[in-house]
Amino acid sequence: MLFASRKDFVARLVVTGSVVVRRALTLLPGLGVLAALASQGWFAPRTTLPAPPRTSPSPWWVAAAAAHDAGACQLSLRVHDAAAGSVVADARVALVRLRDGAVVERIEARTNARGAYRAIDLAPGTWNATVDVDGYALQGAPDFRCEGRGQRAFFDLAAARATHVVRGRVVGDARRPLPDATVALWQDDRRRDAVAGVVRVDVEADGRFRAALPPGEYVAYVTARDHVPKRATLRVGAPSTAWTARLTSQPTVRGVVVDEQGRPVAGAVVAMGDAWDPAARAARVVADDAGRFALPVVRGQELTVTARGDARVGRVALGVIDDVAVWQALTVTAVPGRTIRGVVFAFDGAPRPHGRVRYRVRALGLEGEVPCDGDGRFVLDGMPVEDVEAWAADNATGAWGARVADASTSELALPWTPPAY
């Protein structure tokens, strides 16, 4: 026998069990540490994932997988057949962002199998979309104004089968084709029965374009580099319509607005100086996100180019404009400008709250408008040292009652007289 007696067996079993228990108790702290590490993923099994597909995913998948910015804008649209009601997949979508009527950003995509497309993290600005489907007429989404506050927009667009086609051509002086032109078409509020928004058509190398449109009356706006834009009425009634737009050449100075470190000043207002007539508006444009601008000018004119943005102001004197080819890479350096403060008060001496103040620097062609706070106070940042005129925007006397902040003045008190009507 292994044990002399049953009593001896029980005693040995008790001793062995106590040893096992003591050893288990000594292991408990280590087991607790291992459990904690495992809960943090230290011992998670490694998995080798397959390489991502080389083909581009659908726009809808990209939108769902991308990181969302709670403060950015989103635009969603769905395209369906106007007659059958079924969705239209693989429709071409050209989404553009506008600034002062000019296209500063373009996104091209296609609808997914559900006829849908969604764009996320859109930059502030005015957006609209053109939908182009083979066999269907063009359709456009209404303007969507993104102010960077997390707005959302959804458009359900009905695409009609193409029955009418416009074949057009854009030409310049001597009827030379303008291959870089763009034709924008829309319907005004009184005749909006075919397209919901603006549709944009690109022009081919020979200046020709083709647009399938529902019958109706359209406003056509044609633009091209170094030419004056043209606005006209286009009536589509016959199955085939021929139309020609002739643009007049326009000399243009091009350049970029930067700060002292050479960084672009996005959205700077670039103007042509010497606007001495109070009723006249100086030619002006808005620089894109890279600070680039294209300013139309007049040959034979003495020109000063000014730029204002981000509380900065800059200028370059070009002299008499003769050959604009010399001024195709102009750099305007904008430096911090001065600040002018003021208040608008009524005829009884009390401040007038929440009004608006207009300002103008006639020597430089700068002008604009700022709001007043609840105490009638306003601030003009980035002003030059030249005389700055300011007046209440809805004042009865208008600009003729302006006050002037010269080089030694930094505060203005603007009277407000109610209009007679």
User: In three state form, how does the secondary structure of the chain look?
Assistant: CCCCCHHHHHHHHHHHHHHHHHHHHHHHHHHHHHHHHHHCCCCCCCCCCCCCCCCCCCHHHHHHHCCCCCCCEEEEEEEEECCCCCECCCCEEEEEEEECCEEEEEEEEECCCCCEEEEEEECCEEEEEEEECCCECCEECCCEEECCCCCEEEEEEEECECCCEEEEEEECHHHCECCCCEEEEECCHHHCCCCCCCEEEECCCCCEEEEECCCEEEEEEEECCCECCEEEEEEECCCEEEEEEECCECCEEEEEEECCCCCECCCCEEEECCCCCCCCCCCEEECCCCCEEEEECCCCCEEEEEEEECCEEEEEEEEECCCHHHCCCEEEECEECEEEEEEEECCCCCECCCCEEEEEECCCCEEEEEECCCCCEEEEEEECCCCEEEEECCCCCHHHHCEEECCCCCEEEEECCCCCC
* pLDDT computed for residue 244 by the predictor: 95
Q: Has residue 406 got a pLDDT over 80?
A: yes
* Region label for 15, one of left (φ > 0), alpha (ψ between -120 and 50) or beta (otherwise): alpha
What is the mean pLDDT of the segment spanning 96-118?
88
CA 306 to CA 295: how far, in whole Å? 11
Average pLDDT, the chain: 82
User: Can you identify the CATH homologous superfamily of domain 338-415?
Assistant: Carboxypeptidase-like, regulatory domain (2.60.40.1120)
Compute the C-alpha angle 298/302/304, nearest 5°. Answer: 95
Question: Which pLDDT band, with edges at 50, 70 and 90, does 68 fall under?
Answer: very low
Fold of 163-248: Immunoglobulin-like (2.60.40)
Q: What is the CATH number of domain 57-159?
A: 2.60.40.10
Q: pLDDT higher for 278 or 259?
A: 259
Mean pLDDT of the 246-258 span: 92
Share of the chain above pLDDT 70, in %: 80
**One-letter amino acid of 95:** L
- Give me the pLDDT at residue 352, please: 92
Percentage of the chain exceeding pLDDT 90: 49
**CATH 2.60.40.1120 at 252-336, yes or no:** yes
Q: Which residue has the higher pLDDT, 361 or 48?
A: 361
What is the C-alpha to C-alpha distance for residues 321 and 264, in angstroms, rounded to an integer?
A: 25
Integer angstrom CA distances of residue 349 from 35, 84, 323, 399: 76, 67, 54, 20
Which residue ranges does the chain devote to CATH 2.60.40.1120?
163-248, 252-336, 338-415
Of the pLDDT bands very low, low, confident and very high (cuts 50, 70, 90), residue 28 is low
Q: In which band, very low, low, confident or very high, does the pLDDT at 403 lie, cut at 50, 70 and 90?
A: very high
pLDDT for 44 equals 40
Residue 9, pLDDT > 60, answer no
Report the residue count for the chain: 421
Position 67 pLDDT exceeds 70: no
Structure confidence at residue 348 as a pLDDT band (50, 70, 90):
confident
Whether the predicted pLDDT of 105 surpasses 60? yes
Most confidently modeled of 272-276, 349-353, 398-402? 349-353
Mean pLDDT along residues 307-315: 90
State yes or no: pLDDT of 341 exceeds 90.
yes
Model confidence at 255, pLDDT cuts 50, 70, 90, reads: very high
Residue 357: its pLDDT value, please? 95
Taking the C-alpha atoms of residue 360 and residue 196, their distance in angstroms, rounded to an integer, is 38
Of 65-79, 102-116, 150-164, 235-249, the one with minimum mean pLDDT is 65-79
Residue that wins the pLDDT comparison between 95 and 23: 95
Residue 290 has pLDDT above 70, yes or no: yes
pLDDT, average across residues 335-363: 91
Comma-separated ranges of CATH 2.60.40.10 domains in the chain:
57-159
Single pTM value for the model: 0.62
* Residue 100: φ, ψ to 5°: 50, 40
Binned at pLDDT 50, 70 and 90, residue 198 comes out as very high
Q: Across residues 142-163, what is the average pLDDT? A: 90
> Among candidates 117, 79, 96, which has minimal Cα distance to 199?
96
